[in-house]
Amino acid sequence: MFLICHDIIFLDVSKKKAKEELKMKEYIERVNKAVEFLKEHIDNIPKIAIILGSGLHGIAESIENPKKFSYKEIPGFPVSTAPGHKGELIFGKLNGKDVMLMNGRFHYYEGYDMKTVTFPIRVMQLLGVEILIVTNAAGGMNPEFEIGRPMFITDHINMMGDNPLIGPNVEEWGPRFPDMSNAYDKELRQKATEIAKKLNIPFYEGVYVAVSGPNFETPAELKMLRWMGADAVGMSTVPEVIVANHGGLKVLGVSAITDKAVHEDLKPLTAEEVLEVANKTGGMIVKIISELVKEL
């Protein structure tokens, strides 16, 4: 009886492993098709990629000679459904440097698995991108934070309940156990903060915590997250940064603090309010990123 049960369990595990390996093989093929498509349609492969978060699409208007691709026309690419996310890749120049803009990201709460959420990062990696600048809209849990200011991310906490690296590892893409001690590159952040000071833009530095969403956090949840050491909370960024680090990219993370997420004095919040503040804060972030790109 024990032998029969053991054999059944072994078969189930083997089937599951084979299924995961097949899914990974299909995923690799999708990534490669997207990369091949983009290489055929763009002249200059950029070393810098920028992910535009909710309400932070203003930088797209600063791109010179933009070449745009709707996600729908790129083989294997998912489609954005979140408010304020247009869903297009833009290639062009920003302050004289070739860049790739992701105008609209994918969120876990949209129903995508983590591999799909981070699909564009793998495409960036295989295209040859070396630096990733990722932006987002976030709630400020640090009581000293004022809304409408940027926060440079120093570190993160993953509270999404999942990880994009779970499953078979592709050695060509990165190590099985990647180091995360410098997930947000210190040198990039130092350059960005120096630029912000020169431009007289007030800013914060702090720890970003990612939750799954789509609901905003309860007071009890915010109290716990603050106790854990987080300064700002959002529903994105962390999966992308994990994969970027796995793939050897340097990362700069910038949050637009769009609301007060302080558990003692929590006010009702809507997505529209978040987008409104993000749009206003976006102007400051655009200036910082534009100047930073010039120095890279």
Q: Tell me the torsion sign for CA atoms 89, 92, 94, 99.
A: positive
- Contact yes or no for 86/80 (Cβ under 8 A): yes
Q: Work out the number of other CB atoms within 10 angstroms of the CB of residue 147.
A: 17
Q: Note down the domain range covering 182.
A: 1-295
Name, in order, each residue with C-beta under 8 angstroms of 177's C-beta and a sequence gap of 6 or more.
none
Percent helix / strand / coil, the chain, rounded to 5: 40, 25, 35
Low-confidence ranges of the chain (pLDDT < 70): 1-16, 55, 81-85, 269
Distance, in Å, from the CA atom of 50 to the CA atom of 66, rounded to the nearest integer, reads: 14
264 sits in the region (left: phi over 0; alpha: psi -120 to 50; else beta) called: alpha
C-alpha 201: how far from its chain's center?
23
Predicted local distance difference test score (pLDDT) of residue 55: 67
Question: Which pLDDT does position 206 carry in this prediction?
Answer: 98
Q: What CATH number should be reported for the domain holding residue 197?
A: 3.40.50.1580
Q: What is the pLDDT of residue 6?
A: 57
In angstroms, what CA-CA distances link 125 with 121, 229, 248?
Answer: 6, 31, 8
Work out whether strand 64-70 and strand 88-94 pair parallel, antiparallel, or are unpaired: antiparallel
Exposure b/e, 61-96, CB count within 10 A at least 16 = b: ebbeebeebebeebebbbebebebbebbbbbbbbee
Count up the domains in the chain and report the number: 1
Q: What is the pLDDT of residues 129-154, one digit of tens each?
A: 999 999 999 999 999 999 999 999 99
Distance CA 240, CA 226 (A): 22
Evaluate the CA torsion angle 153, 181, 123, 160 in order and state its sign. negative
